[in-house]
A and B are shown apart, each in its own frame.
Chain A
Amino acid sequence: MRALEQKKLLTLIAPHSLQRLLIDTAKRCGIGGYTAVPATGAGVGGLQSGGLGSDANVVIYIILSEARLLTLLPEIDELMRAGYRVKAMVSDISILPRKGDSEA
């Protein structure tokens, strides 16, 4: 088996209507890969039941290198400072790299 690679996992929880904004922000930092999953929940922003476009959440997973994470996080922080209700979590992960994979 090939050796596991050390990466960062950035998990973003946000209203569904911000998905495109967040993905575009990541793209500007050179990150094209992500996984988005519809989500429901509740918080200070109210109940997000998922039934309507206006009350749906999304969880976005981005696997990336630490260097790219350090480029993207300030951008996410800027959005949060502007008032956007985004939760950003970072964790260390080990992944089995794709064959011939280099930088994420």
Chain B
Amino acid sequence: MTSGMLQNLLDPAILFFVFGVLAGVVRSNLEIPPAIVKFCSLYLLIALGLKGGASLAAGGLPAAGVLALLAALVMAAAIPAYSFLLLRRIASPYDAAAVAATYGSVSAVTFIVAQQFLTSEGVEFGGYMTVAMVLMESPAIIMAVLLASYVRSRDVVPGADRPPAALSMRKVLHEAFTDGGHLLLIGALVIGFVTGERGQEIMQPFTVDIFKGILAFFLLDMGLLVARQLQDSQAPLNRHLLVFALLMPLLNAAIAFILAAVLGLGRGDAVLLAVLSASASYIVVPAIVRYAIPEARPGVYFTMALAITFPLNILIGIPLYYAVSGWLWG
């Protein structure tokens, strides 16, 4: 496992992430313009979608792929449910619903870094895993909004007129499914699937040749962001929430591995399922939760997902999950 971790840490993109954290910690004025960061995140989603779609067109959807998608759906429904039950004991119900949503959803960048890691290790995985990622993005949001609505319906302050209900489920679903990044990923996946191998060849200079460089650039900014979030967020995190942010990814990955083993998934697919289950959304879900569960504190759910769980997965989690898959899959 140590060699896998070392290899991961010596990846230029990961080193740029570490460098970004260091630059943020020493309070450097290094800054990447927000518009470029947004471009990089959209680029990564396009490249991910096109590659996944083309791979799906080439390999189709085998039985293992169907099982992987089923496993993804099970994890997407289970994680927010048991997370909420756990969080309910250590946080306000609204914060619990919001954190359950962020941990029930996924981080596309963590998924991309894991794909890169597996490719460098020569471990194969199915293109359908990108579909699995898309499937895992939204159920947690819907479940969290339902949980928050339930809490809200019981949360009547005696003597006070009730605050207005947040938003209708229809509006929230519209926000969740039309979120720009989410929609772009689905669009790129469909385009990659329709254009297949020829499309992949045409797009190669854009989606493959410069991919690693753009990923490094994005991770540099993420490193800066993680350091600044930790220093300046004024996050009201208690010890229990910190422990949750550190241990929940490991528990989710362990459950994903058990499910993958039971379903007989291949090693690469199992690692990606574990990474998806272990990751937390820090872009799509926090943006929707601000809108759908306004009572929750962004300083809690955003800081946990971005500043603790994201670096944990990028630096330690991915090589750890890979090593565990080596023991389980031989």
Contacts and interface: CB of A to CB of B under 8 A. Distances in A.
Contact of B34 (A15, A18, A42, A50): A50
A78 B225 contact: no
B166 A54 contact: no
Contacts of A1: none
B287 A17 contact: yes
B37 interface: yes
Contacts of B41: 52
Interface stretch (B137-145, B226-234, B254-262, B319-327): B226-234
Given A54-B286, A54-B290, A56-B34, A46 B299 contact: yes
Given A18-B290, A51-B225, A54-B286, A81 B37 contact: no
Nearest to B179: A53
A37 to B, nearest CB: 12
B58 to A, nearest CB: 32
B294 A47 contact: no
A54 B225 CA distance: 12
A79 B232 CA distance: 27
A83 B38 CA distance: 28
Interface string B213-231: 0000000010001001100
B174 to A, nearest CB: 10
Nearest to A55: B302
Given A42-B233, A46-B234, A82-B164, A51 B37 contact: yes
Contacts of A21: 167, 291
Contacts, number: 95
B284 interface: yes
Interface in A1-58: 15-18, 21, 38, 40, 42-47, 49-56
Contacts of B167: 21
A17 B290 contact: yes
Interface in B260-303: 282-288, 290-291, 293-299, 302-303
B6 interface: no
A85 B37 contact: no
A16 B296 CA distance: 16
Contacts of B94: 83
B295 to A, nearest CB: 4
Interface in A74-104: 78-79, 81-85
Q: How large is the interface on A (under 10, 10 to 19, 20 to 34, 35 or more residues)?
A: 20 to 34
Describe B's contact surface by its main secondary structure: helix
Contacts of B328: none
A45 B286 CA distance: 12
B169 interface: no
Contact of B228 (A38, A43, A49): A49
A50 B229 CA distance: 12
Contacts of B37: 51-52
A52 B290 contact: no
Contacts of A15: 287, 290, 298
Given A43-B234, A44-B297, 15 more contacts: A15-B290, A17-B290, A17-B291, A38-B34, A44-B234, A46-B233, A46-B302, A47-B232, A51-B34, A53-B38, A55-B225, A83-B166, A83-B296, A84-B294, A85-B290
13 contacts: A15-B287, A16-B287, A18-B290, A42-B232, A42-B234, A49-B228, A52-B37, A53-B180, A54-B284, A78-B164, A81-B163, A82-B163, A82-B164
Interface of A: 15-18, 21, 38, 40, 42-47, 49-56, 78-79, 81-85
**6 tightest CB-CB pairs across the interface, nearest first?**
A83-B294, A54-B286, A46-B299, A83-B295, A51-B37, A54-B287
